[in-house]
């Protein structure tokens, strides 16, 4: 006779529930950003974080694999960052004028990534991509920007297109529709976005053969992190680079997710591709609100002489630039990425073994990966339609209950930091096993 283990007690979330009810009266939806509303049965309110872990207001501990949606590559409250921010705060949090950290941070970034001969700073990835599109259109005198189904480049009207359309709206595979992400997006704001399926070089060649003289830029994540962490097929990025060169278009890499996360010099170093413009954010500052647009000097000269306007009250905020310098200093230490990659590989292998019997797969690379329920690994957004979103969200609820905090969306991403330990990996696999037992999957 088999004696089943009793199900573990569900953690108390009483204070989170009370806070959510109170916040919902004064903040729209009771959340500060849309995806947080997907945490069920209600958002979990975090009281503090340290290293690889977070604790909620009810005292429950979580090993954190959300890491602020990727930025916390050094984990929570890293001593280097705390020290750097404290030191800068004592000098002032904002000047609205030039300051020495602009030189220090700019030199660090341009030395790190050869594709970025010059840089400008902003606050968010959305903003960096908007600036890149504007710059590419100005440089080429063209309007059309190619973007790919399933890629997320921020929530601004002109680029928030075809992020997660369903089969009923996406249009035919050979000619995808441009589907707005939100109500309120006027068609005129995205009429010059041409949508393609990713990892399909033939489709890209066909579009350029027909409309090459109209295309200002190709905008792509070098790794499709926002639809399941899909790597490019061999030769795909090289093919996009060649098409842009032949037709005089600008190749833009959105490395907001991948820059200094998958490798110190980003995904472009892994695949050996040099884009014309690069957008950075998230992990570049270890968790502070800053973004970077960088590129060839010839292109950036249009920003330098104000033909392309780029400005912002909080641009080059000293606290954020101090965070960039401290983060890059820590990440540049020998062996940092080797250790993170080895732990990630061990975690991915352990997870794959545990979740395979419930119809779940694992795919990804270095310090970022995702899970899916269905046939996988997937190579395109449309293959992801076969994944069972309901099962994924049920599993996520079980993970949260077992003390593992992961992204609250069906399109899954897990991130690792320098602070995740061997003990965290072992504890995670134990908790995943418990989470599987909690579900009926």
Nearest to 48 by CA among 62, 35, 34: 62
Please state the φ and ψ torsions of residue 83, each to the nearest 5 degrees.
Answer: -65, -45
Q: Is 5 a catalytic residue?
A: no
Distance in angstroms (rounded) separating the CA atoms of residues 260 and 142: 31
CA dist 154 to 133, 151, 206, 267, 281, Å? Answer: 12, 9, 27, 19, 12
Distance in angstroms (rounded) separating the CA atoms of residues 424 and 439: 22
Catalytic: which of 56, 254, 412, 424?
254
Catalytic: which of 62, 65, 152, 405?
152
Please state the φ and ψ torsions of residue 327, each to the nearest 5 degrees.
Answer: -65, -50
Burial class of residue 242 (count of CB atoms within 10 Å of its CB; 0-12, 13-18, 19+): middle
Distance in angstroms (rounded) separating the CA atoms of residues 402 and 435: 6
Cβ count near 9 (within 10 Å): 7
Catalytic: which of 147, 282, 396, 407?
282
Distance in angstroms (rounded) separating the CA atoms of residues 92 and 264: 29
Q: Is 424 a catalytic residue?
A: no
Distance in angstroms (rounded) separating the CA atoms of residues 267 and 261: 9
User: How wide is the angle at C-alpha 157 spanned by C-alphas 42 and 27, nearest 5°?
Assistant: 30
Q: Is 282 a catalytic residue?
A: yes
Q: E-strand spans in 230-343? A: 250-255, 277-280, 291-295
Q: E-strand spans in 179-249? A: 193-196, 215-220
Residues noted as catalytic: 152, 254, 282
């Amino acid at each position: 006779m088999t004696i089943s283990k009793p199900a573990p007690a569900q953690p108390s979330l009483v204070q989170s529930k009370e806070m959510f009810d109170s916040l919902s009266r004064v903040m729209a939806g009771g959340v500060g950003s849309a995806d947080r509303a997907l945490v069920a049965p209600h958002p979990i309110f975090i009281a503090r974080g340290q290293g690889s872990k977070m604790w909620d207001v009810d005292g429950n501990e979580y090993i954190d694999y959300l890491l602020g949606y990727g930025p916390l590559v050094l984990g929570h409250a890293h001593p280097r960052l705390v020290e750097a921010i404290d030191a800068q705060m004592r000098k002032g949090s904002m000047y609205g004028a030039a300051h020495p950290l602009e030189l220090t941070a700019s030199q660090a970034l341009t030395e790190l990534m050869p594709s970025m001969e010059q840089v400008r700073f902003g606050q968010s990835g959305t903003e960096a991509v908007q600036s890149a599109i504007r710059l590419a259109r100005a440089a080429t005198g063209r309007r059309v920007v190619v973007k790919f189904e399933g890629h997320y480049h921020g929530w601004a009207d002109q680029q928030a297109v075809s992020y997660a359309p369903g089969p009923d709206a996406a249009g035919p595979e050979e000619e995808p529709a441009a589907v707005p992400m939100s109500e309120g997006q006027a068609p005129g704001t995205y009429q010059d976005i041409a949508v393609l399926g990713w990892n399909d070089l033939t489709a890209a060649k066909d579009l350029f053969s027909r409309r090459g003289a109209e295309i200002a830029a190709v905008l792509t994540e070098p790794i499709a992190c926002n639809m399941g962490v899909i790597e490019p097929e061999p030769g795909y990025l090289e093919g996009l680079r060649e098409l842009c060169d032949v037709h005089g278009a600008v190749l833009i890499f959105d490395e907001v997710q991948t820059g200094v996360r998958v490798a110190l010099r980003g995904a472009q170093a892994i695949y050996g591709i040099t884009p014309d413009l690069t957008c950075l954010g998230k992990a570049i500052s270890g968790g502070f609100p800053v973004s970077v647009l960088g590129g060839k000097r010839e292109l950036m000269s249009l920003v330098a002489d104000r033909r392309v306007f780029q400005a912002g009250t909080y641009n080059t905020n000293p606290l954020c630039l101090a965070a960039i310098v401290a983060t890059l200093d820590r990440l540049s230490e020998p062996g940092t990425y080797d250790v993170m990659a080895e732990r990630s590989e061990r975690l991915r292998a352990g997870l794959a073994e545990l979740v395979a019997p419930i119809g779940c797969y694992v795919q990804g690379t270095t310090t970022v990966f995702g899970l899916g329920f269905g046939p996988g690994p997937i190579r395109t957004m449309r293959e992801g339609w076969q994944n069972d979103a309901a099962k994924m969200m049920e599993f996520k609820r079980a993970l949260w209950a077992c003390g593992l905090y992961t992204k609250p969306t069906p399109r899954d991403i897990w991130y690792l930091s320098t602070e995740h330990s061997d003990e965290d990996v072992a504890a995670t696999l134990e908790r995943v096993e418990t989470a599987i037992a909690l579900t009926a999957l």
